[in-house]
Chain A
Amino acid sequence: MPKLPMPPLPKTLMPRPRRPGQTEEVPPTHQLKEAGISAVDWIDERTSLSGALRWVMFRKVPKGTNWFYTLGSATLFAFLSQAVTGVFLAMYYTPSVTDAYESARHITNEVFLGEFVRGMHKWGSTMMVILIFLHMGRVFFFGAYKYPRELNWIIGFVLLILTFVMALTGYLLPFDQRSYWATIVAANITASGPLVGPFLGDFLRGGAEFGATTLSRFYSIHMLLVPGAIAALIGAHLYLVTKLGTTAPPWAKPEPDEKLVEDQI
């Protein structure tokens, strides 16, 4: 269907011709767009962040990259979910031997969305451990730990251990019978190491007996010490992934340059 011409605008609505010496008027929407761009430009001019972002986001990935390559990101998002829910759980939780159980009960039963957020944190921790193992399996079976990525495998292994430490220290915090006795057992396993074991057990408990400082010790390790280390190591892990790139799956055949294929010479 042919496009019909617009009916002529009434004279009052027609844009007025510019008067001599008057500059062109910029419509407000355009101004808004310009403001955004110029703000980003202002930051970029002073930091050169766009180069780094381009380096991180627009990488070349090998042929054959598939869904298994998303397991690392999945673990990262599990960690972020744990971090966010954990920060907010800390707003209601009391790390004291007499009040901890009551405050955990309060979160679950009385705080709005408390059961949901606590559930996310609880099940999320299990999810994170499962995802780490799946990610580790992907890296292992695809041979992605080989040269030059050995250091990233080592960093990943440290992250695995730190995640275990998180799971162990977090287990005590609800402070019910299960978490209490599980922590007793864990401290005694630590103490069963020869020579240094007994002193490590004391360090973990804050003394020879499970006491008032044991819970606050675990809480501090759980929410300050280890998360900081994990966040820093994730940064190093991602830096190396970006720098070295990802590996092609083992079944992908390399395609040599056409000039190098013998038949074609």
Chain B
Amino acid sequence: MERKEIIEKLKKIIEPYVQDQEAFANINENTDMLNDLKVNSANLVDIIIDAEIEFDIEIDDDSAEKMVTVKDAVQIIEQLTAK
């Protein structure tokens, strides 16, 4: 899957949980989901579940903990979908 396509799908997944719309409008690879987008930390597990369903992958706990920025998430999804 193209990186661009992953980012677009990921943005759709994250959008409902975002509490800072301005930061979301300026989203880039270095955007931090908790600190920049103000996603409630409890909702990170929901984003992971939504991503698992969307990309048909399974994100283990170690990978989930590393998903801090958009870049982290894209890299993990890239690796898993490449398998």
Whether both chains belong to one complex is answered with: no
